[in-house]
Amino acid sequence: MKFRKKSKVLLVPYPAQGHVTPMLKLASLLLNHGLNPIVITPNFIQINSKEDGISIISIPDGLEDGTPRDFFAIENAMENYMPYHFEKLVQEYEFSGKEEDGVVCVIVDLLASWAVKVANKLGIQVAGFWPAMLATYRLFDSIPDMLTNGIISETGCPLHNGPISISLGQPTLRSDNLPWLIGNTTARISRFKFWTKTMERSRTLKWLLVNTFPDECHKVRNTTILNTKIDQSQDCPQILPIGPLNTHVTIKNVSLWEEDSSCLDWLDKQVVNSVLYISFGSWVSPIGEAKVNDLAFALELLKRPFIWVLGPTWREGLPKGYLERISKQGKIVSWAPQIDVLQHETVGCYLTHCGWNSTVEAIQSKKRLLCYPIAGDQFVNCAYIVQKWRIGVRMDGFGLKDLEEGLKRVMEDDEMSERIGRLNEMTMGKVVSSRAMANLTTFICDIRI
């Protein structure tokens, strides 16, 4: 499919690893369809991707060097500083005098919804991108109904302890696991306001591209909270599942950090199915120093080989002399080539925070899961992993007993491998992948000018 006129598509991810990676993969697919993808990031993001044909342009974020790029600092930059620079950039493309250099569409990660306002202001087609399960989007989209039905307060605080079901017949979620309930009271209120604003902007979109498999979108139609059915049958935006993107495209070296590939050599020396791989993702601060300490002791006492992804900052929670003591039993790295690790035959189980990309990669690699969700959509993903798909077990702590019992339940479930195999085919098989790519083609046809 070739575009004779406007061919540029600007893609605006939220500046975190779990958002940049799927956006780059989407960019690669657009490139294959004859479009000219340009990924826009704040200047503190350094993407190592070497994918030919995908341009990556940085714009200022207004934050001084040394300022922690946490959730709230990034939100302030996105709302108050980056729109001006993004608007200037878009105008340069739109009014360059060359029609073929124009912008046909802007695709915006919903967590970067500030860019929706800019695209609307300039009269350019804009589509949303949701990098996680549709079930999580539906949960956020039900905020107005939760307010109306007295299920949460105006600040997002749960008013009842009843279970939340994403959809009839689907997993339930504890009310204290709502995705915006992170940090202290002030932080929770701020996050709730962020999501309220984000979802209001999303309802102005014509399309929403979702990094999930088509069957999930058919099964998640409405939300039931405390036995109250919440109707979510509106047709806007049009939901188009185009994932999981992991299975459609491979991009070399999309990590924001340098990967330590020495862990692959270490894995080669281990026994098949013996290694426990541990990673809590890149965005939310892992688990705190106290829990790092607890997990470290438990792993040492367990005497099972392990690879643990743990950044330098969080290593302060390790017991004194720990790295020397476990040098033969385990390996701790700052960042790992995760998909290569998960697909290694010596890895038998994955202790994960249940981020969506990690969940998809585990299913793709057919690995059993120990689940310790920390924040955001991870609780929803965990509910599906444990309750619906039954390919993992949730842990409530990091003591030796927690670890031993969790591993026993996961590794001794003889039918779990079969369930993982079926889920792999249901989410990543040829039929479902073909449907996902058909949805992407439909979207590309829609935006043609």
**Higher per-residue confidence, 37 vs 253:** 37
Instruction: Give the tens place of pLDDT for each residue, 108-120.
Output: 999 999 999 999 9
Q: Write down which residue in 109, 129, 149 finishes a domain.
A: 129
Q: Which H helix or E strand runs over 42?
A: strand 36-42
The reply to whether 308 falls in a domain is: no
Q: Which residues contact 166 (CB under 8 A, 6 or more apart)?
A: 135, 138, 139, 173, 220, 223, 380, 383
User: What's the token pair of residue 125?
Assistant: 């087609």
The reply to whether 184 falls in a domain is: yes
The reply to whether 273 falls in a domain is: no
Q: Does 141 lie in the same domain as 118?
A: no
Q: Does 178 lie in the same domain as 116?
A: no
Q: Does 20 lie in the same domain as 100?
A: yes
Q: Does 180 lie in the same domain as 94?
A: no
The reply to whether 106 falls in a domain is: yes
DSSP 304: -
Please say whether the beta carbons of 32 and 440 come within 8 A. no
CB atoms within 10 A of CB 62: 17
Residue 39 β-bridge partners:
11, 56
Of 282-291, 329-338, 342-351, the least confident: 282-291
pLDDT(4) > 60: no
Q: Does 22 lie in the same domain as 116?
A: yes
pLDDT(85) > 60: yes
User: For the domain that residue 45 is a member of, what is the CATH number?
Assistant: 3.40.50.2000
| Per-residue model confidence (pLDDT) at position 233 | 47
Q: Does 70 lie in the same domain as 185?
A: no
Q: Does 20 lie in the same domain as 119?
A: yes
Cα(109)–Cα(131) distance, integer angstroms: 7
Q: Does 91 lie in the same domain as 165?
A: no
pLDDT(263) > 90: yes
Would the pTM count as exceeding 0.85?
yes
Across 71-100, average pLDDT = 86
Pairing of strands 164-165, 172-173: antiparallel
5 burial type by CB count under 10 A (0-12 exposed, 13-18 middle, 19+ buried)? exposed
Distance in angstroms between the alpha carbons of the first and the last residue of the chain: 13
Q: How many domains does the chain have?
A: 2
Q: Does 185 lie in the same domain as 91?
A: no
Cα(154)–Cα(164) distance, integer angstroms: 18
Please say whether the beta carbons of 127 and 11 come within 8 A. no
User: What's the token pair of residue 198?
Assistant: 């984000």
- Find, among 279, 273, 313, the residue nearest to 295 by Cα: 279
Rg (CA), the chain: 22
Q: ∠142-69-136 over CA atoms, to 5°?
A: 20
Give the chain's mean pLDDT: 89
142: containing domain: 134-190
Of 81-90, 231-240, 428-437, the least confident: 231-240
The reply to whether 81 falls in a domain is: yes
pLDDT(367) > 50: yes
DSSP code string of 73-129: HHHHHHHHTHHHHHHHHHHHHHTSS-GGGSEEEEEEEGGGTHHHHHHHHHT--EEEE
The reply to whether 172 falls in a domain is: yes
Q: Does 38 lie in the same domain as 79?
A: yes
